[in-house]
Amino acid sequence: MQFSRPYTLQELASLLNCDVVGNADHRTTGLNEIHRVKPGDLVFTDHRKYYGKALQSEAATVLINTKDVDVPKGKALLVVDEPFTAFNKLIDFFSPWEIPKEQQSKHATIGKNTLVMPGAFIGNDVVIGENCRIYPGAVIHSGTRIGNNVVIQSNAVIGSLGFYYKKRTTKFERLLSGGGVIIDDNVEIGAGCTIDRGVTDFTHIGSGTVIDNQVQIGHDTHIGERCLFASQVGIAGCVNIGNDVTFWGQVGVTSGATIGDKAVVLAQSGISKSLEGGKTYFGYPAEEARKKYREMASLRVLPDVIEQLNG
């Protein structure tokens, strides 16, 4: 998320009523999660395990719960007791959630020859290109950007809130979702799909990608061009998927994984780490399919081998 103008360290400290480490005129140009940080951004960290990652990132400013760290040159700290909650306050300030007052917002822009069917919901600041088809029951939340020739089938939800929580003593605190969704040209999204908006960045679906029914795509995930996802695929937040990737039914992907171009993942596989492109994978944890099949064949004869050894 980029600010409309740079904010000084003192201005941000005034918003949060917190202590600072650094020059009061130090500039910050946006805020992002650590997975999507860009030069000039603010990131937050609230656990000693991740202090180093945040301080050594491209971020200009770190929202943190201690002063007892070495601050790299050119960076500054905003020090608060609860960085998670303070980050939420900044999201709410710079990108407040707006509740539309009508089924199709007057502040949405819809291109030529695009058909929005009865019962579809279009939020504020939505931009939809030309020759699109939005089916009944589809929900397109505020801040979504949709290209040309896009199909969104019934009951798909575009721009739902990200699933990102911190456990408190008596409840879970949600991290607010101040980002959006970008869907490029010639994308098809099946019935009942959910695509979460970014927390501070955009969830991005590349051109020509086709998505079957009941697929879940988490916040801030970036998907390349011409990908194909079959039904019930589940993709966590901040995943990076290359071009021409295929996931067959019920594939699951862990947060932060990177999947290379032209990877194929067979049905009901679980991706627990990043995968190289140009290969076919299967199983949990997903490994090259031929290797996994050999392992399974070996397991089938293992009881006989043990019996022979014991005999």
Q: At what angle do helices 83-94 and 9-16 cross, to 10 degrees?
A: 110
**Does residue 219 carry a catalytic annotation?**
yes
Phi, psi torsion values for 116, nearest 5 degrees: -105, 110
The candidate with the shortest Cα–Cα distance to 158, out of 143, 183, 141, 173, is 141
Q: How far apart are CA 174 and CA 295, in angstroms?
A: 41
Catalytic residue (choose from 26, 141, 219, 222): 219
Q: How far apart are CA 167 and CA 164, in angstroms?
A: 10
Q: How far apart are CA 229 and CA 206, in angstroms?
A: 13
Residue 252 pairs with which residues in a beta bridge? 234, 270
- 227 neighbors 243 (Cβ within 8 angstroms): yes
Element (H, E) at 61: strand 61-64
The pair of three-digit structure tokens given for residue 99, joined into one six-digit string? 């509740």
- Which residues are known to be catalytic? 219
